[in-house]
Structure 1
Amino acid sequence: MKHFSLLLLGFGSICVQLFSLFTLSSLSVAFALGNETDHLALLQFKKSITRDPYGVLLSWNTSTHFCNWPGITCNLKLQRVTQLVLLRYMLGGSISPHIGNLSYMINFNLAINNIHGEIPQELGRLSRLQQLSVSNNLLVGEIPTNLTGCTHLRFLYLQRNNLTGKIPIEVGSLAKLESLGVSTNKLTGEIPSFIGNLTSLTVLGVGSNNFEGHIPQEICRLKNLTFAAFGVNKFTGTLPSCLYNMSSLTMISVTENQLTGHLPPNMFHTLPNLQELYIGGNQISGPIPPSITNATIYFLALEASRNSLTGQIPSMGNFQYLDVLSLSWNHLGDNSTNDFDFLDSLANCSRLQLFSISYNNFGGHLPDSVGNLSSKLSQLYLGGNQISGRIPATIGNLVNLTLLTMENNSLGGNIPTTFGKFQRLQKLNLGANKLSGELRTIGNLTQLFHLELAYNLFEGNIPQSIGNCQRLQYLDLSHNNFTGTIPSDLFKLSSLTKLLDLSLNSLSGSVPEEVGSLKNLGSLDMSENQMSGEIPPTMGECIMLEYLYLQGNSLQGIIPSSLASLKGLLRLDLSRNQLSGSIPNTLQSISSLQYFNVSFNKLEGEVPTFGNASAILVMGNNKLCGGTSELHLPTCPVKGKKLAKHHKFRLIAVIVSVITFLLILSITLTIYWTRKRSKKTSLDSPANDDQSATVSYQSLHNGTDGFLATNLIGSGNFSSVYKGTLEELDEKVVAIKVLNLQKKGAHKSFISECNALRNIKHRNLIQVLTCCSSIDYKGQEFKALIFPYMTNGSLEQWLHPKTLSEEDPRKLSLDQRLNIMVDVASALHYLHHECEQPIIHCDLKPSNVLLDNEMVAHVSDFGISKLLSAINDNTSKQTSTIGIKGTLGYVPPEYGVTSEVSTYGDIYSFGILMLEMLTGKSPTDESFEDGQNLHNFVLTSFSDNLLQILDPLLIPTDESPPLKGNNWNLDPNVEMCSVSLFRIGLACSMKSPKDRMNIAHVTRELNRIREVFLVGVDDSK
């Protein structure tokens, strides 16, 4: 038994050993199989990578164990892959689904590469995975729904890809998730309420997607949340009120959404750890919470621009770590002297780098304490306020500024010499202020790439030292008082690539040859100066030019054919110069050209065909011919036949002249004898000659309901006008002008109007239908003229309506006003030059311009008009003056000195009428004081600030207000048309009659402007 027992014990020991050996062998096989699985999965991953610029995967081969491959980390004991991290290698290709076989992997990171395709669903098999990062790639498709298998996932980074769809509901089951980043994708829908289930979350980033709806209240269940980023989406409503009680939050970002509401006054008490608040680009209103004064000293950034915040800025002196304070485009400040009281406290913010309060309501003077801001300040935005006074010299203490904008204020005086300390300044914008003096320190700012000084009062020469700014890309010195020649060093700045604008100054001399050095410049504007000489051929070397403006100078010579080298040119304006010769045919080769203007030069010959250009302007060049039919130019003569026909034309001209002389002589004698026989004809009923029979007083009484007051549509010095109907005219609605014969001069007014209207007929003159000369029911003498009724009333009612309503807005568009100007000018041209006896109207004003149902203008009221032949006849008694010849404000100055009237008086009235139509201001506007008048008001402002004088009804509304004095927000067609019309109005209303335009020239130019403008309007639509 003993031996048997020993035998059994021995057998048992052997079995145990055999079992142990079997078990170890099985485990080894399992590990071996697992290793091979990982090995094969990695090789498949490598195969899916098609681009490896750094060669990081070259050593992924059998010569080395995969645990030693770059980017791979293994469990040393098990030899299984735990991490695959290939960050920033610019890898291209896709993610192999075999990655799902790396079952021991806890960290998979392919961030910042060029991986495309979709995120494979097989990643959901990685149950041990704790971090998944594929951010900053080119991935598409939806977020995988089976990530629920990654039960240990703590960090999920999918941001900066092209993922679409919604956040899948399965994400709500990742209970251990601490950080979720899906920002900068194309995700849609709402933030799901199950987000509240992720109670371990500390970081949530969903910005820059297409999410919409409200930010859910469930977010407040995330008690550990420190970072909440919802910016650049379409969220609406208000921020959840509970959000302000999440004391763990250190950063909130909701920029660029559509959020509304106020910030709670005590929010910085309930958010004691908040260090960064980004709410810009919403519709949040109310004041900045006063509790911000007690925020943590570690407060770093407040970005609240583009909202509707009001009130003053609280003290922020506790924030020694404050880096960004951006409050632009709000309603902060109240244009008072204490608006900058907070500025002193910012002196303690020693790390401040960006400070912006632009486009608010800050007023008063900028205090010297601005120089006490942080020496680290890099960007300072102060533009778009009502800041006045001088720029403090202390601002020069901010020696690290790279950007300074103070545009669109009321700053005056010189630029402080301390600006010379800005050795790092790259952008300076002082445009649209009242700054004056000469530029002295600009040449010291050698790092500048953007300099904008437009719309100021700078004077003197442009300094040569500006050539020191070798990095300038953008230079705008327009709308100032610079004189002298343009320094040639300016044209040697090859860095100029975006803009060089010197327009609307008083610069003289020629365009330097060095202009050809600006080979990379996109826009060059030297218009509205006093430049002379020729356009240098080197201009054609500016091969990148898209916009070239030289109009409004005194340039001479030919248009250089070298301009054809500007193959990218979009707009070319050479108008209002003294250029001669022909338009080079080579310009046709500029296929990109959209706008070409050579109006008002001395050009001749055939106009080339510009196939792609939408606007070709050649008016004011009387010797041009040919071109497209839209230009309405005469056909060019055939060169071969021109000389052959010369003598034949001379012979024909002589014969025609003789025949014409004889005809005129015959007609003149006939008219003379006819008038001599009818000289004694009564003037009391002159309308009977060529009009229908007179109507009775009874007919007029019945047609106006007894001249009821409700039918009264207007009244003047000598008459009242009623609306009525007449049986004799088939119940036609008419206007009945009843003379007030009790008033002195009324009889003469009636006679003058009858004489004027008797034989004239023009579409833009009121036509008398008939008249009445009778006795009323009281036995009193009664006289009336009957005209067609004008359904749209008078121009006065449109320019200066007594009431405005949606039903009757009474707003005239610019094209309507231009049409009316053309109509009135046509009427005057007819009266002055085309009547049998030229007529002077003497009382042209808006109330005497009537508009029919198609808005065609008709000049009316000839009660004080004069026949030119009668004026010249000193023996005539019927044309003696009747008091002041016209209406105050429209009467030309010379009428106050002499009683002699002339056609130039009508031109003056027409000029004032044009300026009134463009500005919306009456010449008797109460704002004109101390010798100011409408002409001078326009003259002093029209070249500097078109928006200031243009009728506000002609300025399109824009959510972003334009810079003060800046016409850029006007449609280019509107601006061009307005400027041209202002020039004509000013030329017509000159003080001296000899300086005024004649009506023939006015009519011609207005028609040409209308043709160009209406083409531009149609094209813009």
Structure 2
Amino acid sequence: MWFDTNNKTVAVAAILGNQTDHFALLKFKESISTDPYKTLESWNSSIHFCKWRGITCNPMHQRVIGLNLNKYQLHGSLSPHIGNLTFLRNLDLGNNSFYGEIPKELGKLLQLQYLFLSNNSFVGKIPTNLTYCSNLKYLFMDGNKLVGKIPIEIGSLKKLQMMSIYKNKLTGGIPSSIGNLSFVMQLDFVRNNLEGDIPQAICRLKNLTVLGVGENNLSGTPPSCLYNITSLTIFYMPINNFHGPLPPNMFHTLPNIKQFGIGGNHFSGPIPTFINASSSITHLDMADNNFVGQVPSLGKLKDLYLLNLELNNLGNNSAEDLEFLKPLTNCSKLHGASFDQNNFGGVLPNSIGNLTNELKMLYLGVNMISGKIPAELGRLTGLLSLSLISNHFEGVIPTTFGKFKKLQALSLRNNKLSGDIPHFVGNLSQLYLLDLGDNKFEGNIPPSIGKCQLLQILDLSHNKLRGTIPLEVFNLFSLTNLLDLSHNSLSGSLPKEVGMLKNIDWLDVSENHLSGNIPETIGECISLEYLNLQGNSFNGTIPFSLASHKGMRHLDLSRNQLSGSIPDVMQNISSLEYLNVSFNMLDGEVPTNGVFGNATQVAIIGNNKLCGGISQLHIPPCPIKGRKHTKHHKLRLIAVIVSVVSFLLILSFIITMYWMRKRNQKRSFDSPTIDQLAKISYQELHQGTNGFSPTNLIGSGSFGFVYKANLVSEDHVVAVKVLNLQKKGSHKSFIVECNALKNIRHRNLVKIMTCCSGTDYKGQEFKALVFDYMKNGSLEQWLHPEILNEEHPTTLGLGQRLNVIIDVADALHYLHQECEHLVLHCDLKPNNVLLDDDMVAHVSDFGIARLVLSIGGSSRKDTSSIGIKGTVGYAPPEYGMGSEVSTCGDMYSFGILMLEMLTGRRPTDEVFEDGQNLHNFVAISFPDNLMKILDPHIVSRDVEVAIQDGNRENLIPTIEECLVSLFRIGILCSMESPKERMNIADVTGELNKIKKAFLTGVHAHN
């Protein structure tokens, strides 16, 4: 009918079509809730819709063929009426705030060629109907929150040339049907959760120029044919689990490659010798793999811009290791080069000074390079960042370094450099980071350092510096992250000018010979979070001004000569997590609120005149102020005598009754001491869990199930543990857990709120415990990706895991050493570590805990007769041979938990056969091959952030040092012999040192 000869039908159809388009656009506008630029104001009846902003029409039929609203900050959902714009060819809604699902009605746009939905907040799956758009050439959905799999039907888009789904939450594999996209030139699947192999079918894409599959969970050995796609210019697949060697001739078959990125995988073997065959390479990233051998000559890569070979096993600590640097002098466009954390030895050749002046970043840290730093290095006057940390350099800093007028970051930490810190350091006026710690520098801190008015991080710690701290240091108003002068021989006072560092976050002058009063002006450092003054000779009183630091988290004043009382106002610092005033000459009453209310967060030993405080601090009570009148003295004496006699009589009665009862019957756990707990009814629990609905079920354990509940009486969401009373030992578990938790309080222990002991609606016995609800679930859910829910990130970064380890250790420290009675947990494992909204860890499930009571100089274990002594893999070997439970057993479980957090492997992993176990698996690789057993995701999130901030090369050494220390603790705690295991006090001490070093490193590289 469209081609009616009299054209009347044509006109009618055109009018109807125009009305359809007009109505669809109005519906589109209705779905927009926010339009800050008033983009859609022109969308009204005063003008034809073809003249509305963002609309393009076919001039003949006046039908909408283009809708372009990119970057207008529109907020709203995408109306399904968009599918009625049947002539639409180009749809561009990128860089807005569209939310909700992508409507399946887009599949009706059969003429659509360009679909751009990038950088919005679309959720849900990629609609399969989209594959009906057979004319589609460009498909961009990157930067959203899409989930599910890539549709297999994607292979039906035969005209597709570019596809980008970068930065979503897609799972599953890359479908083999992708091989049907014969015209495709660019595929970008970066930053999703894709898994499995790269399909062989991808090798059929002979026009492919860009392949991006990086930052997923892909694995296996990439198909060898992939290296034969001669059209490839960008090959990007870092941060996955790929392994195997690279084909030796691969760069012969990739002649057009410009960017080659495979960092953060498990590739091994040598770097292909003929890499020079791809002379057009500009970016070469092979970092964080297992490559070995010597670095081949790269001198023919004339366009090389970025070279990253860090975190491998290259070199063999020989004199020939750094010979590859000489050919690099031909790479005149080189902008950044990193060789950190390899096995390079020998001396740094003088030819290093012949590298291009275009070089901005040079990293050679964490190797075994020795000798003096060549003066020729000072020729690289274009450098912005230079790191030579953790090598064996000796001698002085070359005077030629004074030419680094553009240098912003200089890291020479952990070498054997000596002599004075040169005065020309003041000429490096662009520095924001100066790290000379852990060397042998001596003499005074040069006052010229005050000219570096952009410094944010200054670390001169662990040297032999002497003299006073120059006032010029405190004139560095730019110091915001770190000032660390600790472990030197500095003398004099801490001047009042310290208050000028108003924005400093971390100040450490510990372990020096400083004296005098702590200046009141330190209260003017309003951003201070970490203050370390320990190990000096400060005297006088603790300044009241310290209480003005509302964000203070860590304060150490120990091992000084401070006197007077602890200011009461310090208990008002709500953010304070750790306070150490040990080994001073303090006196008076210890406060009880704030940080003083938790014995695990405050250290006060070595102050013999302190009194009061909470009972867990175990210091004498403060004396009652007496009256002068003799009569009153006598009355008080009489009262004391009467009290003592009464006490002895009562004590005698109690002991007699105890032994009579002991003789007649055994102490029964069927009479639980849970009276202190408030009770809640079965009806309330039934209503709060929607009748114990499966949809409310959030976990299960040895003796029951855990439900999420919303209790009216508690006015918030809680977790309800319902005991399975049909299971043997469940009654005992209920009582033991009540007794264990009713009197213990710690920020890292799960808090029991109430309990229920009665009958259900059927008259059957019912028991349940009610705890605080932990939004982020158990540690188990975070360590093993196969059970993650969509709300969780892929995994925990190293910093988060370190915090969890410390939280669990603090909980154990409290149970083993701070409780009134020793508590043995007996079942420490990831399932029993819960994470709250702030990712703070809480140890839970005390169903088989042992409470050790001291009676008459001996001890006994308050426990049920439950036969279970922990969980297979986490319980120590001696428990299987009938040994009694002990703190050593808890330490074994803690060690195994640490190793699981670091390797990503459960102790029951199927790879552990024939006597192999998680402890031996780690010990064999410690300390030289830890990267081979490390959970591949553990560092990726920290490194990802560092990459975004441009600091990956600097942060890696800090991460490695931290990992070695953590693995060491995990190994020592999980030794087979109980006597060889670390105790919890030593563990918490070591962990706090590790955290400090880690945070210092992160601060130093941010």
Query: How does the TM-score come out when normalised to structure 1?
Result: 0.63
Residue of structure 2 equivalent to 1:628 = 614
How far is the alpha carbon of 1:169 from its aligned partner?
2.0
- Give the total of aligned pairs: 679
Residue of structure 2 equivalent to 1:545 = 528
Residue of structure 1 equivalent to 2:17 = 34
For 1:103, which of 86, 90, 99 is the aligned residue? 86
How far is the alpha carbon of 1:29 from its aligned partner?
2.2
Task: Give, as a single letter, the amino acid of the residue that structure 1 aligns with 2:364.
Answer: L
**C-alpha distance 625-642 of structure 1, shift in aligned 2 (>3 A):** farther
For 1:167, which of 137, 150, 155 is the aligned residue? 150
How far is the alpha carbon of 1:425 from its aligned partner?
2.0
How far is the alpha carbon of 1:972 from its aligned partner?
14
Deviations 1:125-182 (A, max 9, x none): 1111111110111111110111132110011111111000001122121111111111
Matched, 1:465 2:448: yes
Task: Give, as a single letter, the amino acid of the residue that structure 1 aligns with 2:302.
Answer: Q
CA contact (8 A) 1:973 1:1017 kept: no
For 1:423, which of 402, 405, 412 is the aligned residue? 405
Unmatched 5+ stretches in structure 1: 1-18, 653-813, 820-852, 857-951, 978-1008
How far is the alpha carbon of 1:646 from its aligned partner?
13
Deviations 1:435-494 (A, max 9, x none): 122222222222222221110111111122222222222221110111111112212322
**C-alpha distance 1011-93 of structure 1, shift in aligned 2 (>3 A):** closer
For 2:365, which of 354, 379, 383 is the aligned residue? 383
CA contact (8 A) 1:408 1:963 kept: no
Alignment of 1:764-843 (within 5 A): none
CA distance in 1, matches of 2:628, 2:613: 19
For 2:375, which of 393, 404, 420 is the aligned residue? 393
Task: Give, as a single letter, the amino acid of the residue that structure 2 aligns with 1:629.
Answer: S
Task: Give, as a single letter, the amino acid of the residue that structure 2 aligns with 1:106.
Answer: R
Residue of structure 2 equivalent to 1:441 = 424
Residue of structure 2 equivalent to 1:213 = 196
Q: Secondary structure at the match of 2:325?
A: helix
CA contact (8 A) 1:100 1:125 kept: yes
Alignment of 1:229-244 (within 5 A): 229-244=212-227
For 1:639, which of 619, 625, 629 is the aligned residue? 625
**C-alpha distance 34-438 of structure 1, shift in aligned 2 (>3 A):** same
How far is the alpha carbon of 1:347 from its aligned partner?
1.3
Residue of structure 2 equivalent to 1:67 = 50
Identity %: 55
CA distance in 2, matches of 1:1013, 1:319: 52
**C-alpha distance 484-957 of structure 1, shift in aligned 2 (>3 A):** farther
Deviations 1:367-420 (A, max 9, x none): 122122222211111100111112222222222222111100111122222222
For 1:484, which of 445, 467, 470 is the aligned residue? 467
For 1:331, which of 303, 310, 313 is the aligned residue? 313
How far is the alpha carbon of 1:54 from its aligned partner?
2.4
**C-alpha distance 246-484 of structure 1, shift in aligned 2 (>3 A):** same
Residue of structure 2 equivalent to 1:285 = 268
Deviations 1:871-929 (A, max 9, x none): xxxxxxxxxxxxxxxxxxxxxxxxxxxxxxxxxxxxxxxxxxxxxxxxxxxxxxxxxxx
Residue of structure 2 equivalent to 1:362 = 344
CA distance in 2, matches of 1:242, 1:1010: 54
Task: Give, as a single letter, the amino acid of the residue that structure 1 aligns with 2:60.
Answer: K
CA distance in 2, matches of 1:418, 1:543: 39
Residue of structure 1 equivalent to 2:493 = 510
CA distance in 1, matches of 2:631, 2:167: 77
CA distance in 1, matches of 2:257, 2:961: 41
CA distance in 1, matches of 2:27, 2:233: 43
Deviations 1:34-60 (A, max 9, x none): 222222222222222222222322222
CA distance in 2, matches of 1:648, 1:438: 71
Unmatched 5+ stretches in structure 2: 639-811, 818-882, 887-924, 940-955, 973-981, 996-1006
Residue of structure 2 equivalent to 1:302 = 284
How far is the alpha carbon of 1:967 from its aligned partner?
8.1
Deviations 1:97-122 (A, max 9, x none): 12111111111111122211111111
**C-alpha distance 457-59 of structure 1, shift in aligned 2 (>3 A):** same
Residue of structure 1 equivalent to 2:545 = 562
**C-alpha distance 20-33 of structure 1, shift in aligned 2 (>3 A):** closer
Q: Secondary structure at the match of 1:454?
A: coil
For 1:520, which of 496, 503, 516 is the aligned residue? 503
Matched, 1:198 2:181: yes
CA distance in 2, matches of 1:400, 1:534: 45
Residue of structure 2 equivalent to 1:843 = none
CA contact (8 A) 2:366 2:957 kept: no
CA distance in 2, matches of 1:954, 1:228: 36
How far is the alpha carbon of 1:1013 from its aligned partner?
5.2
For 1:340, which of 303, 310, 322 is the aligned residue? 322
CA contact (8 A) 2:503 2:527 kept: yes
How far is the alpha carbon of 1:502 from its aligned partner?
0.7
**C-alpha distance 970-526 of structure 1, shift in aligned 2 (>3 A):** farther
For 2:478, which of 473, 495, 517 is the aligned residue? 495
Q: Secondary structure at the match of 2:65?
A: strand
How far is the alpha carbon of 1:426 from its aligned partner?
1.9
**C-alpha distance 600-36 of structure 1, shift in aligned 2 (>3 A):** same
Task: Give, as a single letter, the amino acid of the residue that structure 1 aligns with 2:119.
Answer: N
How far is the alpha carbon of 1:617 from its aligned partner?
1.5
Q: Secondary structure at the match of 1:105?
A: coil
Q: Secondary structure at the match of 1:31?
A: helix
Residue of structure 1 equivalent to 2:70 = 87
How far is the alpha carbon of 1:629 from its aligned partner?
1.7
Task: Give, as a single letter, the amino acid of the residue that structure 2 aligns with 1:337.
Answer: A
CA distance in 2, matches of 1:955, 1:218: 39
Residue of structure 1 equivalent to 2:394 = 412
Matched, 1:615 2:601: yes
CA distance in 1, matches of 2:960, 2:626: 55
Deviations 1:292-316 (A, max 9, x none): 0221x32111101000001111111
Matched, 1:529 2:512: yes
How far is the alpha carbon of 1:243 from its aligned partner?
0.8
Structure with bigger gyration radius: 1
How far is the alpha carbon of 1:641 from its aligned partner?
4.1
Task: Give, as a single letter, the amino acid of the residue that structure 2 aligns with 1:128.
Answer: Q
Matched, 1:352 2:334: yes
Q: Secondary structure at the match of 1:310?
A: strand
CA contact (8 A) 2:366 2:391 kept: yes
Q: Secondary structure at the match of 2:434?
A: strand
CA distance in 2, matches of 1:1014, 1:631: 20
CA contact (8 A) 2:3 2:10 kept: no
Deviations 1:626-664 (A, max 9, x none): 112222211211124489799999x99xxxxxxxxxxxx
Deviations 1:971-1003 (A, max 9, x none): 79999x9xxxxxxxxxxxxxxxxxxxxxxxxxx
How far is the alpha carbon of 1:1017 from its aligned partner?
9.2
Alignment of 1:875-894 (within 5 A): none
CA distance in 1, matches of 2:38, 2:406: 41
Residue of structure 1 equivalent to 2:953 = none
CA contact (8 A) 1:147 1:170 kept: no
How far is the alpha carbon of 1:427 from its aligned partner?
1.8
How far is the alpha carbon of 1:204 from its aligned partner?
1.0
CA distance in 1, matches of 2:614, 2:987: 17
Residue of structure 2 equivalent to 1:402 = 384
CA distance in 2, matches of 1:272, 1:964: 36
CA distance in 1, matches of 2:989, 2:438: 27
CA contact (8 A) 2:534 2:559 kept: yes
| CA RMSD of superposed structures (Å) | 3.5
CA contact (8 A) 2:101 2:124 kept: yes
CA contact (8 A) 1:595 1:613 kept: no
CA distance in 1, matches of 2:538, 2:477: 25
For 2:98, which of 109, 115, 119 is the aligned residue? 115
